[in-house]
Amino acid sequence: MAPNSRNADLRGASRLAVAATLGVTDLVEAMHRTIQRVPLPIGTPVEGRTRGITGFVYKTVRGVTRMVGGGIDTALAVLGEALPEDEDEAGWAGREPLVAALNGVLGDYLERTANPLAIPMSLRHEGRTLQQGEGAAVVAAPSGWLILAIHGLCMSDLQWRRGAVDPIGVLARGLGATPLHLRYNTGLHVSTNGRALSERLQALLADWPVPITRITLIGHSMGGLVARSAYHDAQARGLDWIDRVRDMVFLGTPHHGAPLERGGRWVHEVLGVSPYSAAFARLGSLRSAGITDLRHGSLLDEDWQGRDRFAHAADTRVPVPLPEGVACYAIAATTGRREDPLARRLLGDGLVPLDSALGRHPQARRGLAFPPGHTWIALRTGHVGLLGRASVYRRVAGWLSAGS
């Protein structure tokens, strides 16, 4: 975490407040303009701004908001230079889940506007960030086998923990490996995070105090997509960290998308049908790039570059198969009960359908060929519940032990 994180948080929050005020002003003016023109209930929304005294009022509100926001930002920047650095890397209580959720929803905007609340990508061990060349200082007994856990949308590395217990740490130590966690901005495109992770792991080869002989990637939800994207990036660029990757484990990963994002897209389109509700369709455009990538499970730049990511579109992803020579495993969850197989198939884990989590697809070229015995379904379990199920980690430990 950056020095004076409380001050940085205040600056970031003030910028968001200013942006939100400007956004609401634009929305209200758009509705005002539409009501003035009285268009038909179905059709194209009225374009342009209001005029005369009304337009002057809205323009004044925007000007005052920007002026006040700039003054707050300047004052906090000056104040930050006089404040001592935060000693606690975790920051104030409740910060982690709040900032993680904010990055999931608005992370691309935070990054684009250089907002201090944007989460930079980092590798972490037992709650501490590994700076370049700090492996020996942070990790007490580094091994050549690294197990890297990659969290999902709107989450952080600390949310793997259950109370004081980090199940990834317990898993890794039981296998003689070193546990690492990735922290990243889940609102960015999956391919952007995949490329950054690929570069981070390549640098880790030189930084790690002992030779790295085996890397295991465990991705929950979006984290599994980021892992696959990173591997594909390294393969395309000839980076040699993938030569150490022996295993990839996917927990509730939406390999072929999640219905929740598609629902958000339909709301966006339905609101745009009438000029009287079109202004509210802008709220649907708040969905981050990371969220819209979950519509079909996009992994590559080619899946989104040059496209309107909010528009209705068929699945045009470039198919990316599971990496050859890597043992890949998938665990899906269902809220259904054992005695109700139909519900178990249809429900999924509440966010990700079973077929998506297990890589199944009606088009053979898009399906992921997990070998027999490399998939498992956790019953009576929700999407986030996968992180806290002891049976999940026993299954993963068995797979990884066999791979040894």
Average pLDDT over residues 324-339: 88
Average pLDDT over residues 281-295: 74
pLDDT beyond 60 at 187: yes
Residue with more model confidence, 310 or 86: 310
Residue extents of the structural domains in the chain: 5-93, 122-257+317-403
Q: Homologous superfamily of 122-257+317-403 in CATH?
A: Alpha/Beta hydrolase fold, catalytic domain (3.40.50.1820)
The pTM of the full predicted model, rounded to 2 decimals, is 0.78
Could you give the angle at the alpha carbon of 115 between the alpha carbons of 224 and 218, nearest 5°? 15
**Beta strands, E only, 110-257:** 122-125, 128-129, 145-150, 178-183, 214-220, 245-251
Query: In this predicted structure, what is the pLDDT of residue 229?
Result: 98
Question: What residues are paired with 217 via a beta bridge?
Answer: 148, 248
Query: In this predicted structure, what is the pLDDT of residue 302?
Result: 95
Query: In this predicted structure, what is the pLDDT of residue 3?
Result: 43
Query: In this predicted structure, what is the pLDDT of residue 102?
Result: 79
Query: In this predicted structure, what is the pLDDT of residue 72?
Result: 44
pLDDT beyond 90 at 186: yes
Average pLDDT over residues 251-256: 96
Cα→Cα distances 292→99, 258, 349, Å? 19, 10, 19
The residue among 257, 248, 226, 220 whose CA lies nearest residue 333 is 220
Query: In this predicted structure, what is the pLDDT of residue 127?
Result: 85
Q: Which of 53-62, 106-115, 374-383 is modeled with the greatest confidence? A: 374-383
Query: Is the distance from CB of 130 to CB of 124 less than 8 angstroms?
Result: yes
pLDDT beyond 60 at 100: yes
Residue with more model confidence, 262 or 331: 331
Element (H, E) at 375: strand 375-378
Q: For residue 268, how many other CB atoms are within 10 A of its CB?
A: 20
Residue with more model confidence, 324 or 335: 324
Q: What gap in Å lies between CA 177 and CA 147, rounded to an integer?
A: 7
Token pair, residue 384, equals: 């986030």
CA dihedral (149, 155, 156, 157) positive or negative:
negative
Tell me the pLDDT tens digit for each residue of 298-322: 999 999 998 877 676 678 899 999 9
pLDDT beyond 70 at 139: yes
Query: In this predicted structure, what is the pLDDT of residue 41?
Result: 45
Question: What residues are paired with 247 via a beta bridge?
Answer: 216, 327
The residue among 310, 283, 316 whose CA lies nearest residue 297 is 316
Average pLDDT over residues 193-217: 95
Q: What is the DSSP string of 268-287?
A: HHHHTTSTTTGGGHHHHTTS
pLDDT beyond 90 at 266: no
Q: In this prediction, what percent of the chain has a pLDDT beyond 90?
A: 48
Average pLDDT over residues 141-153: 95
Average pLDDT over residues 221-239: 98
Q: What gap in Å lies between CA 396 and CA 119, rounded to an integer?
A: 29
Token pair, residue 215, equals: 């890397």
The residue among 257, 238, 234, 291 whose CA lies nearest residue 108 is 291
pLDDT beyond 90 at 136: no
Average pLDDT over residues 200-225: 95
Average pLDDT over residues 373-383: 94
Query: In this predicted structure, what is the pLDDT of residue 90?
Result: 55
Query: In this predicted structure, what is the pLDDT of residue 132?
Result: 74
